[in-house]
Amino acid sequence: MSARRALAPAKLNLSLHVRRVDSSGLHPVRGLTLSISRNDILVMEPAESDHLEIHGADLPTGDENLVWKAVSALRSAQTERPPVRFELWKRIPVAAGLAGGSSDAAAALLLYGSLVGIDGADLARLATSIGADVNFCLRGGLRWIGGYGEQIGDRLDRDGDFVVVVAVPPFMLETARVYSAWDRIGEPEGRAVGGMAIPPGIRRHGPLVNDLYPAAVSIEPDLDDWRVELESRWDRPVLMSGSGPSLYAFFTDQAEAGEGLELVPEEARDAFVASPQSQGAHLVEDGG
């Protein structure tokens, strides 16, 4: 077997409605979710023993990494469990509300699944067992999600294109802590952004709301300062993805987005331009 490669796109929450915790101890959600063109790259090749090397981020490489959790899920259904070596190039900011780890897990499912002959519905079933976002990251596109994030709707069409600029403030927010804060401060609804403020291609799915935004601000008040500053510089509404702290806004095209990128404060942990993607994690040829 020669080396195989997969791209793992970031996930952007366009809308996220949260409901109070239920008997499972989790919060049911309903959200509008989009794959964007910021990709981690995962390469797999045969090896004498399992190994994971990560470039671009200081992350654990042992069993707790979602790449190995994906491989373990596949091996649990197999009698043959060939060892492999992974190299992961991180381009999606870590702990930023962009599902980078879940997308890496989806890429690992595809890669190792292609090695042991598992694909399609079997991969989707295993994805749900690994993490709530992994199933979406495996399928990608523009979709409504439900349940605890694991229920995936049909891919939605976009009428026309748009571009986003994503800015990551210089702090991290833990997802569990943000959800706990949402409970503590009274289960607030987020600010609604709709009408002409969102691109025509997704306007019918609006207004866009992230209920976790007030909770995130209650933990890290500087987040709201970042949003206000970006709205002033970009002259348009700014939204938060997932549990944060990534902030983003819509732009008409790459040229306009490039100008917006130059206006991001230099203190940002990361910032980039991305476009919508119609697929999630996917295998690519060496030249792809």
Three-state secondary structure call for residue 240: strand
Series of mean pLDDT values for 10-residue runs along the chain (288 residues) = 92 97 94 97 97 96 96 89 97 96 98 93 91 94 93 86 96 95 97 94 94 98 98 98 97 97 98 96 78
d(CA 214, CA 218): 6
Is position 11 annotated as part of the catalytic site? yes
Give me the catalytic one of 40, 104, 133, 211.
133
Cβ 138 vs Cβ 280: under 8 Å: yes
For residue 179, the one-letter residue type is: Y
Q: How far is CA 185 from CA 13, 28, 175, 222, 237, in A?
A: 22, 18, 16, 18, 24
CA pair distance 104, 3, nearest whole angstrom: 17
Main-chain dihedrals φ then ψ at residue 103, nearest 5 degrees: -70, -35
Residue 3 CA neighbour count, 13 Å, CB half: 12
pLDDT of residue 79: 78
Q: What is the pLDDT of residue 288?
A: 47
Give the pLDDT confidence score for residue 60 in this predicted structure.
94
Find how far residue 242's CA is from the centre of its chain: 8
- Whether the bond into 245 is cis, omega within 30 of 0: yes
CA atoms of 100 and 97, how far apart (whole Å): 8
Joined tokens for residue 138 = 């495996």
Tokens of 113: 């699944």
Domains and CATH numbers, the chain: 4-155 (3.30.230.10), 163-277 (3.30.70.890)
pLDDT of 77 reads 81
Distance in angstroms (rounded) separating the CA atoms of residues 211 and 263: 27
Question: Is 253 an active-site residue?
Answer: no
